[in-house]
Chains A and B, each alone.
Chain A
Amino acid sequence: MDASQRPQLEKKKADINYILKEAPREQHFITGAQAMAEAVKRANVDMAIAYPITPQSEVMHLVGDIYAQGHIKEYYRAEEELGTMSAIAGAARAGVRLFTATSGPGLLRGLEAIVSWSGHRVPAVLGILTRVVNAPLSIQPDNIEMAYMMHCGAVMLHAENQQDTFDYTLAAFAITEKVDVYIPVAVATEGFFVTHAKGYVDMTADDICLNDFDPVAAPVPAMDNETPPARIQRDAPVQKSNFMSYLIHSVWQQEIWDSNQRAMKYIYEYLGGPIEVQNPEADVFVLGSGCAAAQCREAHRYAQEDGLSVGFIKVKAIRPFPTEEIRDALKNAKSVIVPEHNIIGWLCKEVKAAIPNGGIVVEGPRVYGGMTLPVELIMKEIHTALGLEYDLKL
């Protein structure tokens, strides 16, 4: 049976603003993997392609289930990750809505294809369920792979919890398909700490889904039928070795990063902005993204209960990076603590570069290789920044 004959569920189609902001929601207690698959279910996805890797495999297993239930039209398991990501690029030429997901080493194995997606104007949504990359082999959570992903032109959102995973994934489909964006959107969240952990998710009904993908509303044609069966390269001159190819390529790269910047207005529209700030008048801030933001939020609550002057900043968008928003939020700060789930501190480096007085940035606490980030470690840094003692025993 081919895809056109396979029965699809009858659903009410709706605009993303209705789904994200107006549609009634019901609370469920589910894992992050379930939350991402539930978002895919409501996104009216045409095609999912994947190769399994822990902890992403649970998401794509669930997406396989919803394919069997008739929520999406086509699904196949690729031969390996480079094949997955290449197939996504190929499918994009047919003008369909696409979803895939990967983890750690899988992302790196598919990276060559992924970094070409932006240039090919592939409007796909990529789930990144983060996992250790570095040797020795481990399947534990660590978000260092996001550092490798940050420079390929894709929009990158970093979900704090199961609720964000659901909302960001749905919003990602809308953002990637905007004609002035039309580059991939990655939704990252921590493997295991979110994907295999249960939390509360307010979800819309699953009989309402996103309007159909419209391949005509694209900055590039979906497929060139002038040269049958199809022309692989959309813009042939780019591959020629002459001055024009350099020029076209450089202009194209500029356009991709401009597209990335243009995504910011949709991040404001759908996610309320690229950052969340609490207690903006504080002297000391804790700033984090992903589930490090969850730990910062908890530390902020403890600090409030103890009467300490501490603010909280959550970074939702890694690309485009909210440079101006962070600079403004930290303009009167005396210290900013940046906890992270990776050894190099990629978020810390971005924050340092974004503000004029980078010396106020406290690098860490950082955990990696699968370690959890105890809130108590953040509390210790808060106390140190405020000149207070903190008794931390292990």
Chain B
Amino acid sequence: MAEQQKRERYNIRISGLGGQGVVTTAHILGSTMDNAGKFASLVPFFGSEKRMAPVEAYVRASNQPIYEVGEVVYPDIIMIYHSQVITHGKSYTMPFYTGLKPNSLIIINTDHDVLNEDDIKVLEDLNATVVQFDATALALQIAGTELATNMAMMGMLLGLTKLVSTENIEAAVKERFLGTSFVSSGGTAMLDSAIEKKFKKKEELLQKNMDVINKTFEMADSVDISGSELIVRFDI
């Protein structure tokens, strides 16, 4: 009998502020894994989905079926979309690395160092890797809008983990913005409408998003997440 395929699994917790595309990222990440013939499950934290309110979403991604549901309490990967989640205590899970497993990855959207000495000690003990970059600046630089911040964050995650190809991502982004199967809340639908007006054409939106993702893939290529360095910084 063939040896059973080893289970590879990432439990991802995404924290940010309402309007940054945290929940949208979770949906696209799930579809990306699906397109790659792998597995995902995702769930958002609900109840406060409004602009600037703290928002969390959770994704489980694996090469095998996933049974578990609910929020991710013990993550392998944490994504921080806004430094306020750390410095203002806006995350639902405080401190923001609560439950983090050893040898894990943290990606932070920031243009300055936000970790204090205590944070650094805990994360060093866990042999974590922290990737810091200004995803919002990158989104503005390449897509011309901060609304592509989530694409920069997602691109960095997928570029670092090599879970899927950019073709898999493109299909998922296309389905999210051009497809018909996505069920969005009223607020998200309004935001989509605002994005559409800004870009005039949805096709253009897709291309801008992919440009951001391709750039982060390029950046991620220079990083060894199994290396000994705790914090990896990128200048935008």
Binding site for B on A (CB under 8 A): 28-31, 33-34, 54-55, 58, 62, 138-140, 161, 190, 192-194, 196-200, 291, 294-295, 297-298, 301, 305, 372-376, 393-394
Residue in A29, A139, A375, A376 whose beta carbon sits within 8 Å of that of B31 in the complex: A29
Binding site for A on B (CB under 8 A): 7, 27, 30-31, 34, 39-44, 46-47, 65-74, 98-99, 181, 183
Question: A298 contacts which chain B residues (CB < 8 A)?
Answer: 66-68
Question: B71 contacts which chain A residues (CB < 8 A)?
Answer: 372
Chain B binding site: helix, strand, loop or mixed by DSSP?
A: loop
Residue in A34, A200, A305, A373 whose beta carbon sits within 8 Å of that of B70 in the complex: A373
The answer to whether A294 and B67 touch (CB under 8 A), given A30-B181, A33-B183, A198-B40, is yes
Across chains A and B, the number of contacting residue pairs, with CB separation under 8 Å, is 73
A-B contact pairs, 6 of them (CB 8 A): A29-B30, A139-B46, A198-B30, A199-B41, A294-B69, A374-B74
Question: A198 contacts which chain B residues (CB < 8 A)?
Answer: 27, 30, 40-42
- In the assembled complex, how far is the CB of residue A312 from the closest CB belonging to chain B, in whole angstroms? 10
- In the assembled complex, how far is the CB of residue A142 from the closest CB belonging to chain B, in whole angstroms? 12
A291 to B41, CA, bound (A): 13
Assess the A372–B73 pair: CB atoms within 8 A: yes
Question: A200 contacts which chain B residues (CB < 8 A)?
Answer: 39, 65
Assess the A140–B47 pair: CB atoms within 8 A: yes
- In the assembled complex, how far is the CB of residue A392 from the closest CB belonging to chain B, in whole angstroms? 9
A254 to B41, CA, bound (A): 43
The answer to whether A62 and B183 touch (CB under 8 A), given A29-B34, A192-B46, A376-B73, is yes
- In the assembled complex, how far is the CB of residue B94 from the closest CB belonging to chain A, in whole angstroms? 11
- In the assembled complex, how far is the CB of residue B198 from the closest CB belonging to chain A, in whole angstroms? 27
- In the assembled complex, how far is the CB of residue A314 from the closest CB belonging to chain B, in whole angstroms? 10
A139 to B99, CA, bound (A): 24
Assess the A376–B74 pair: CB atoms within 8 A: yes
Assess the A394–B69 pair: CB atoms within 8 A: no
Q: Which residue of B lies closest to A199 (CB)?
A: B41
Question: A58 contacts which chain B residues (CB < 8 A)?
Answer: 183
A376 to B27, CA, bound (A): 25
A298 to B47, CA, bound (A): 27
A14 to B181, CA, bound (A): 26
A199 to B59, CA, bound (A): 11
Residue in A29, A140, A305, A394 whose beta carbon sits within 8 Å of that of B98 in the complex: A394
